[in-house]
Structure 1
Amino acid sequence: MSIRTVGVIGAGTMGNGIAQVCAAAGFQVTLVDINEAALERALQTIDRSLDRLVQKEKLGSEDKQQALGNIRTTTELAALESADLVIEAASEAEPVKLSLIRQIDEIVSAQAIIATNTSSISITRLAAASNNPERVIGMHFFNPVPVMALVELIGGLQTNEATRQAATEFVSDIHKTAITVRNSAGFAVNRILVPMINEAVFVLQEGIASAEDIDLGMRLGCSHPIGPLALADLIGLDTLLAVMDVFYTSFNDSKYRPAPLLREMVEAGYLGRKSGQGFYHYPA
């Protein structure tokens, strides 16, 4: 399988980051979202991100323009017809992802790879929505995508070796490092990370320490580059809650119970950086 053209569905934080790294690596990218304004914001975000790389002399000005020229945007899924690889980066909601995979399956060729950026949902279950489930794979990027070097590759029960190999080569081509993970709720990194963040929310909820002291303690005491609550704000509290709910349901184990404060903050619309308010306040 030779990948030259890439479709990315979802122009949010993950989608625009994935589009950027693919375009910067020389791939032709079609970025799709149902909202034209979201696509405009995504291009502005990518432009600023590339500017920072130019300022740090990690990217030339001509390379920046070439990367931007490699991206086209559209609100029509049908524009993905010729894509060799489609990466679904929509919200972490199983019905949404299942619906998108069914739609992509009807548009792209039978040889095209369908990847999902899910951080917790079963790849086997998502692949079953395709008429060619052997070409579906989990391709879990980490936020912020242009900075984070890791991609988890997760095959479903149906995923064939050709798809796995092509995905591995693609990750290398966009200058990331892949690890291979067995299909299980949360996979490897989030299976460890998200319950730790959830426990930090419990510590805050119980008044054991302030948000600032929790984060400072983990940074200075455990050498974490960012505290768990600040990281929660970066990831999005709604995404974290969705992952914890998947764990709680999948494993039927009380140790994965989402912290009530986390659920309440999501209900209040305090989602972190993207809403301007989470465990910390982010002025517009």
Structure 2
Amino acid sequence: MGNEQLRRRDLDVQGARGALAARLYVPAPASGESAGGNDGLVVFFPPGAFLQADLDGVDEFLGLLASQTGWRVLASKYTLPAEAPFPAAVEDAHAVLKWVQRHRARLGWNGKSLVSAGIEAGGNLAAVSAVLARDRGGPALAGQVLIMPMLDPGLTSCSMRQVSNTDGSAREAETCAAGYRDYLPRAVDRTHPYACPLQSSRMKGLPPALVLSAHDDPLRDEAEQYGAKLSAAGIAVTARRLGPLGLREPDARCSCVRKHDVLDAIAGFLAGLAHK
């Protein structure tokens, strides 16, 4: 599906504390498609190690995602630690999911299939918002897409400990550590399941997941461990390890996910959800 007729629209959504900047991507309808083509909506939380939440940095990827999958995509900012630390961003993420359910008509969406998604810190919020939706009785999610997510504030995984200065991984690990220091200033919060979903002992009842990791990413092991925990709890999981990110490059994760094989993986996962 081409993106010549993709429509972007900036808007505000309601977070837990107030309005949040967001961007809606509406793909062109497929040939012969009518109102039935608006079943799917992805709510996407951008990366930034909890230190920033830049919608422009993921704009190209999300445009391609909407165009290739035919799903609407809503990217939303969230409260940063400089304004309020955990659990402010988590509460925002859940509030945005509730907002899209209440404002279906405004989004041109029929409310049938809702998926949480995100990269890195946004992947944390996508995972945790799925947990909150389960714990608080909704909104119902059809799936979750976790792209190289930050899931372990303890930074204890082998891939995190084995970082090297030669490939940019050490800088990425330092950025994660700095983000967690601001996001989780209280040590007790670092094992809270809404901050560290990898520590959660309650995985049942969560939606199917696509978990993408990358070979040279310090976040690789925690992503794969979380996928394994979900699978052990009986959750349908599609896990894939991508090739090297090239972490010396700026915005390496966003650059990686713009590649067509990543888009294909997400498109296949979403298509599978639509047929259930």
- Select the structure with the greater relative contact order (CA < 8 A; seq sep ≥ 6): 2
Identify, as 1 or 2, the structure richer in helix: 1
TM-score normalized by the length of structure 2: 0.33
